[in-house]
Amino acid sequence: MEQKPSLDVVLLAISSLYNNPDTSEKERASHWLEDLQKSVHAWTIADELLHLKRDLESCYFAAQTMRTKIQQCFYELPVDAHVSLRDSLLDHISQINEHTDTVIVTQLCVALADLVLQMPNWTQPLYDLINKFSQTNVWPLLEILTVLPEELEGRSVRLGENRRTEILDNLKLCSPTVNEFLKHCCNSFGDDLNGNIQGNIKIIRCFTSWVTVNAISLDSLVDNVIITRVFEVLNQKFDGQKLQPVTGSLHDSATDCVCTILRCLEDNNNHQQVLEMLLFNKVLTLEVPYHLSVANEDQEKSMNYCRIFTELGESFLNRIISNSNRDQQHFTIKVLDLILMCVGHHDYEVAEITFNLWFLLSEELYQRHDYNCTDAFKPYVERLITALCRHSQMEPDHEGLLESGDDFKEFRMKVFELIKDVVFIVGGSNCFRQMFLNLQVPGVTWDASEASLFVMQAVAKSILTDENDIVPKVVEAILNLPENTHVAVKYTSILLLGELCEWIERHPATLDLVLNFLVCCLSQPRIGGASATALQNICAACNDHMPRHIPVLLQLLGQIDTLAIANSAIIGLLKGVTAIVSCMPHNDIPATLRELCLLQTNPLCELMKQNAPTGRGMKTDPVMWLDRLSSIFRNLYVPLAEGETNPCKSTALEVWPVLSHVMEKYQGDVRIMERCCRSIRFMLRCVSQQLSELLQPLISQLVQIYNTHQHSCFLYVGSILVDEYAVDPNCIAGLLEMLKALINPTFNLLQQENGLRNHPDTVDDFFRLCARLLQRAPMEFLQCTALPLILQCSLLACSLDHKEANMSVMKFFNDLISSGHTGKQHPDYDKRKAMIQSILNEYGQQLITNLIHACVFYLHSYMLSEMADVFVELLQLDHEVTSKWLTTALDSLPKQGHGGIVTATPDQLQAIYISITRSDTSKSVTYALKDLTRLYR
């Protein structure tokens, strides 16, 4: 947008966006306004709209535009315009009154906060704001004071560590004044909590925000009036026998405040003992209000109290564990009683809040491996499992099974994982026994029985396999379930049988009975999928006993599509059957494997003959059969003696023409191509170098289709071929020709506008292919005529912020540099080293500079460890030259940001330089790179 539009045009576009019933006009207006916001004219347009105050929509658009521009485009303004922008914002905020929309107030206050962060020549912003607004505009002042620490911590603006530290120091310096201001606000609003709800919420939110960033120190909290106010909110008041509850949003704010302080205590390693005890005792007083919230069916408040108790428990957890054993317990263990009280709440959503604490407890106890300490927590975990069992009960009138995506089903899966995690504390056999006793209670309902079986399923693999008391009775009871048993009880019982697979493996006498039972259940509505899952587990665990059942299983797989079983369960069953095939005598494998594969390839061939439309998830979907084929080859593992022919080879050669036909027929469908390549990948891995006769036809077909359809999965198959066949010197030339043939279409794709960013999978798979060639045939790859193009592309891809793609690029560089100083005993070492030196002489400085700039400006911090590997390799290859390149790269970084904000001082950059050049591990270089990025973010 080159010319500034008139206000009338902007107002018309805003009106069209919000009010025009024509969706195409709305969309046009939206795109036009987005372009306006990106332009430099947005600054003045937003300011003019705010002064105009035409309507709510235009004011909101203007305020939101102002915030966005300050956050993302502050560099567009010349420094001498900063003061006028500040004064204009202050003027807009000074006109806020009780009628101003809250959203507009928030946008303007965030805009001003972001301006404070980026305007170093505003030396005393907080004092100025408090002096200007504390008597006249308390509402926006509280909002500004709230969002300023939030913006500082949220990192929506790239400030750099130096400026953040400067701002935080300024906040700490002003904290006494802010505390006094908040105290004054508290006194002004009085003790009637419901008298000025919004005022109290704003005070508490503001205080919480400052505590979060440690601007208000923990030392000053003991006698703080806000803490007193917060616990007044949480301790609901009585008027005789009549409850006078505070409003929910005020209660939420008070809860957030207490939880924040408790987290700060934990982060501070609980060194504030006076504050700790104050909070501990005050939180204990919340037990009565919690019971009141339950009695009044106020679930939101019950959840808030549960959050506080759980946060207190997490804060004190290490101390509780360190000072508790079977003979004595630390007094703070009382908090576990409060948490279990919440777990006992009638609604499972309250119990779910506590789950993280129990995971932390189990992890810590498992790491300590101290039985004396673990015993202290047995009673608590027993109560937890009992409560979870009750929460896992379905509604008594529920018919059928829980549906996928159902919230309660999701909760039960979390319960399942939690019980598996904590059961070692009480012992799997003990828990299993207790659940079995629950089943024996006279008059036990179906829903209670199903919940107990569900818990037994979770702990089944924790039972000793020589247990001969309870498990045989459970297995017998399941095998003899009456016909009229509720379907959910049958479903869970069948899954329990599958989880008992290790016990069944040690008790083979039960195997035939269990298999017959599960095969019968396969054909029954709604429980067939559970039967398939249980069969998969038993096939995998009992494969030594299973080969004699292969004919029945193959017959079963031939008919399985006539049953109502999900494809995922069928794939699981194929996985189990394949595990059995792997254990068969080698002479018996070809015929069995062929029959297993024909069950998948015959329908595929029929589909291609019929030209049937490919309906997703249906039998006419080639992906369904390809996924099954992948499952077979993926889970086949046949150990071979040296020189022995792989018994899977004949079947693979028979399957290949079918896969080749699939590639030809569906070459334009990326989804089918990805699944087909997956099948080829697992087939190649299964048979390995013994499929060399497929190498030429497969490469030819890949290259031919890739020239038309640049599916990245073809590159991935290419890397598998290199991995498997580059060990054979006779195959290397063909593989390099494949690379050359794939380069042109790949680079044509990546050289498009935003090509690297728009095609990260292609980057990932292409550089994986290059790295594999480097590993398997370094000399041949280094002599490849396309290498300069590959290197130029890899240098551009350094800044690609896609994790997998960037990892592959870094792995390529890593292997490239490594090949210059490893394998010294190899006869081609000197020549290889000289070639790498020549490459780095040309590209080394650019590589280091690109890596440094990528770290600072483009990549997430979790992506830096792979870059650190490259630095370590470069330093090992040539420490002196790499150090010089690093000096130049660091010098190229800006030392100041917009407005004169100091980003990195020479001393700080020198410290980074020393840290990197003196490091000999990737971990230490990663820390140094993270230190560098913090200076610019």
Q: Say what the pLDDT of residue 402 is.
A: 94
**Could you report the per-residue pLDDT of 327-345, keeping only the tens digit for each?**
888 889 999 999 999 999 9
> What is the rounded CA–CA span in Å between residue 290 and residue 307?
11
Q: Confidence class of residue 238 from pLDDT cuts 50, 70 and 90?
A: very low
More confident residue, 239 or 751: 751
Burial of residue 850, with CB atoms counted within 10 A of its CB: 0-12 exposed, 13-18 middle, 19 or more buried: buried
How, if at all, do strands 237-239 and 242-244 pair? antiparallel
Q: Each residue of 46-84: b (16+ CB within 10 Å) or e?
A: bbebbeeeeeeebbbbbbbbbbbbbbeebeebeeeebee
Mean pLDDT of the chain: 93
Q: Is a pLDDT exceeding 80 seen at residue 611?
A: no
Q: Say what the pLDDT of residue 469 is.
A: 93
What letter would DSSP give residue 616? T
Q: Confidence class of residue 653 from pLDDT cuts 50, 70 and 90?
A: very high
> What is the rounded CA–CA span in Å between residue 770 and residue 343?
54
Q: Say what the pLDDT of residue 195 is.
A: 60
**Could you report the per-residue pLDDT of 661-696, keeping only the tens digit for each?**
999 999 999 999 999 999 999 999 999 889 999 999
**Could you report the per-residue pLDDT of 887-896, keeping only the tens digit for each?**
999 999 999 8
Q: Say what the pLDDT of residue 301 is.
A: 95
Cα 401 → chain centroid: 29
Burial of residue 672, with CB atoms counted within 10 A of its CB: 0-12 exposed, 13-18 middle, 19 or more buried: buried
Q: Is a pLDDT exceeding 70 seen at residue 654?
A: yes
**Could you report the per-residue pLDDT of 697-753, keeping only the tens digit for each?**
999 999 999 999 999 999 999 999 999 999 899 999 999 999 999 999 999 999 999
Q: Is a pLDDT exceeding 60 seen at residue 315?
A: yes
Burial of residue 380, with CB atoms counted within 10 A of its CB: 0-12 exposed, 13-18 middle, 19 or more buried: buried
Q: Say what the pLDDT of residue 253 is.
A: 96
Q: Say what the pLDDT of residue 62 is.
A: 95
Q: Is a pLDDT exceeding 50 seen at residue 241?
A: no
Question: 533, 495 in Cβ contact below 8 A?
Answer: yes
Q: Is a pLDDT exceeding 60 seen at residue 240?
A: no
Give the pLDDT mean for 639-656.
94
Give the pLDDT mean for 15-21.
92
More confident residue, 826 or 227: 227
The first and second tokens of residue 168, run together, are 């935080």
* Cα dihedral across residues 594, 597, 600, 604: positive or negative: negative
Among residues 378, 414, 271, 287, the alpha carbon closest in space to that of 341 is found at 287
Which residues sit opposite 238 in a β-bridge? 243
Give the pLDDT mean for 351-372.
96
Q: Say what the pLDDT of residue 271 is.
A: 67
> What is the rounded CA–CA span in Å between residue 548 and residue 570?
21
CA distances from 707 to 128, 668, 673, 712, 755 (A): 65, 12, 14, 12, 17
Q: Say what the pLDDT of residue 619 is.
A: 81
Which residues sit opposite 896 in a β-bridge? 902
**Could you report the per-residue pLDDT of 408-442, keeping only the tens digit for each?**
999 999 999 999 999 999 999 999 999 999 999 99
Q: Say what the pLDDT of residue 643 is.
A: 86
Which residues sit opposite 902 in a β-bridge? 896
Q: Confidence class of residue 239 from pLDDT cuts 50, 70 and 90?
A: very low
